[in-house]
A and B are shown apart, each in its own frame.
Chain A
């Protein structure tokens, strides 16, 4: 009896302990709940922003890798196949060495001169040694990715641009002098041009510059500067021994084919990555890039077919490259149909430059760096002013008309200003640097070295030892 009563009391006490649980009503703590919901929303917003950033950053890192691939092995193979067998390694080494040398220059001062605020012509030294360039985004350029990503992406552009110049002076450049030339060129020609077009406060910057030049991925900054510098260099160096009488056909169109294919694929990083985000504009630039390459291939190969009776593989791949060059400044501003047209014009135009104009003037632009990049870049930059439209990219404030297609014919004038500045900077800059490099080291190899071949004379190697066991 006593045990049953004790159990009963125990149960009642237990029930009383549980009472507070039943007493809790939902409406009683409204203020605490609102704060909890606000905190949760804030957390979700941060996660959404992080996911957005993660998508952008992933795309940009891939793009950076694609652009580096364009230099090594894309350009190395493309140019390597076009030279004679005895110069294949030297030609590839020129591209590869830039991957190393330009990186160091970029880290020390190059990035800062391009992208730190300074004056309208050149950046300041605030980012030298990459101080302050870390995981935090730089809202001047790309608000959703780490500035370090932006920096390394732009580095890949700085690497490939001087590499293009090596095409015009192939088979006769002294390696040491070329390295000196490239370091100086990055500082004196590339950095100012990149700053003017893309840098905060740049003279030609499409947002806020005095002469807003539309250059989405580098028609002026990359192709015109390098292409025109290439022409200057070709004229300064003079013709190769035996040119033009001695036949110097490409030793391996196979290598060039592989290189050109890598360039086409890599260019998606070059152009679509210039959207600096994984968004609709990147897609639009991707599509425009591909379409221009396609129509330019048809343009060059078609023109050749008509003129020579056969379409050559070298012509087809050269056409693709010409189209890719021309669409570079336009890629984020024009629609797909305009891209097809731009490609076609560039394909035919660059073919004529290479097949007729070069022969008429008689200069030895060995691998047509000027014919494809200088001419293609100029064509593309001007056509950007024609075909740019706010429907694709409302780059000017308040949906203002962008290119001639929108009714703003004046943009073509701005494009011409950008083109002219690129030409002048390239010509003057290159001449000065060539003279310096020539005085300090001597830019051209001796005639004996040239005839022996650069692989042996500059690097002590042979590209192919196929007879060896």
Chain B
């Protein structure tokens, strides 16, 4: 099992969600995060004082999928999240040791 962590532009989230649904994914965890890569932030001014906002709002989508589905899911995310500009985000993959369904203690791929 592989965990797929995608940090994407918030404006692309709806397309990514649709693409994942089409790819047959049934579960995900979504959070609002702030961060930056190489993209510069912007400056805000309050009462004459400048504040540089380097942490930009982003959306993080986390999924755990069976290994055979990883390439399909990654393709789906890449296609739907890309705008071609700096700030599109990144996808990280990591190995998952175990998955357990809380309701009935099913384990492994059955729990996904």
Which residues of A are at the interface with B, using a C-beta cutoff of 8 A? 244, 247, 249-250, 253, 304, 308, 310, 312, 314-315, 318, 351, 354-356, 358-359, 368
**Could you tell me the distance in whole angstroms from the C-beta of A299 to the nearest C-beta in chain B?**
14
**Considering the complex of A and B, which 4 residue pairs feature the smallest CB-CB distances, nearest first?**
A355-B48, A247-B51, A249-B51, A249-B46
Give B4 Cβ to nearest chain A Cβ, in Å: 25
- B46 nearest CB neighbor, chain A only: A249
Judging by beta carbons under 8 Å apart, are B47 and A359 in contact? no
Q: Distance (Å) between the CB of B88 and the closest chain A CB?
A: 27
Cβ contact of A250, chosen from B46, B48, B52, cutoff 8 A: B46
Give the complex CA separation of A247 and B48 in angstroms. 13
- Are A355 and B51 in contact, CB atoms less than 8 angstroms apart? no
| Shortest Cβ distance from B44 into A: residue | A249
Complex contacts, B49 vs chain A, CB 8 Å = 244, 359
Within the assembled complex, what's the spacing in Å between the Cα atoms of A355 and B46?
A: 9
| 9 sampled A-B residue pairs with Cβ under 8 A | A247-B51, A253-B46, A308-B45, A310-B45, A312-B45, A318-B47, A354-B47, A354-B48, A355-B48
Residue with the highest number of chain B CB atoms closer than 10 Å, among A249, A250, A315, A359: A249
Given contacts A250-B46, A354-B47, A359-B48, 20 further A-B contacts (CB under 8 A): A244-B49, A247-B51, A247-B52, A249-B46, A249-B51, A253-B46, A304-B45, A304-B48, A308-B45, A310-B45, A314-B46, A314-B47, A315-B47, A351-B48, A354-B48, A355-B47, A355-B48, A356-B48, A359-B49, A368-B47
Across the two chains, which residue of chain B brings its CB closest to A309? B45
Min CB distance B32 to A, Å, is: 12
Collect the chain B residues with CB atoms within 8 Å of residue A253's CB. 46
Question: Which A residue's beta carbon lies closest to that of B52?
Answer: A247
Which residue of chain B has its CB nearest to the CB of A250? Answer: B46
Q: Which residues of B are at the interface with A, using a C-beta cutoff of 8 A? A: 44-49, 51-52
Residues from chain B with a CB closer than 8 A to the CB of A351 are 48
The chain B residue with its CB closest to the CB of A244 is B49
Q: How far is the CB of B9 from chain A (nearest CB, A)?
A: 23
Instruction: Give complex CA distance A351, B44 in Å.
Output: 17
Q: How far is the CA of A315 from the CA of B47 in the complex (A)?
A: 6
Cα-based distance from A304 to B49 in the complex (angstroms): 11
Across-interface contacts of B45 in A (CB, < 8 A): 304, 308, 310, 312
Chain B residues within 8 Å of A304, by CB? 45, 48
Chain B residues in 8 Å Cβ range of A315: 47
Measured CA separation A253–B51 after assembly (Å) = 15
- A308: chain B residues at CB < 8 Å are 45
A351 to B47, CA, bound (A): 8
Complex Cα distance, B44 from A354, in Å, reads 16
Closest to A355 in B: B48
Chain B residues lying within 8 Å of A247, measured Cβ to Cβ, are 51-52
Contacts of B46 in A (CB 8 A): 249-250, 253, 312, 314
Distance (whole angstroms) from the CB of B49 to the closest CB of chain A: 7
Q: How many Å lie between the Cα of A314 and that of B47 in the bound state?
A: 7
> Which residues of chain A come closer than 8 Å to B51, judged between CB atoms?
247, 249
**What residues of chain B lie closer than 8 Å to A359, measured between beta carbons?**
48-49
Residue among B46, B51, B52 with most chain A CB within 10 A? B46
The residue of chain B having its C-beta at the shortest distance from the C-beta of A253 within the complex is B46
**How far in angstroms is the closest Cβ of chain B from A80?**
15
What distance in Å separates the Cβ of B30 from its nearest Cβ neighbour in chain A? 15
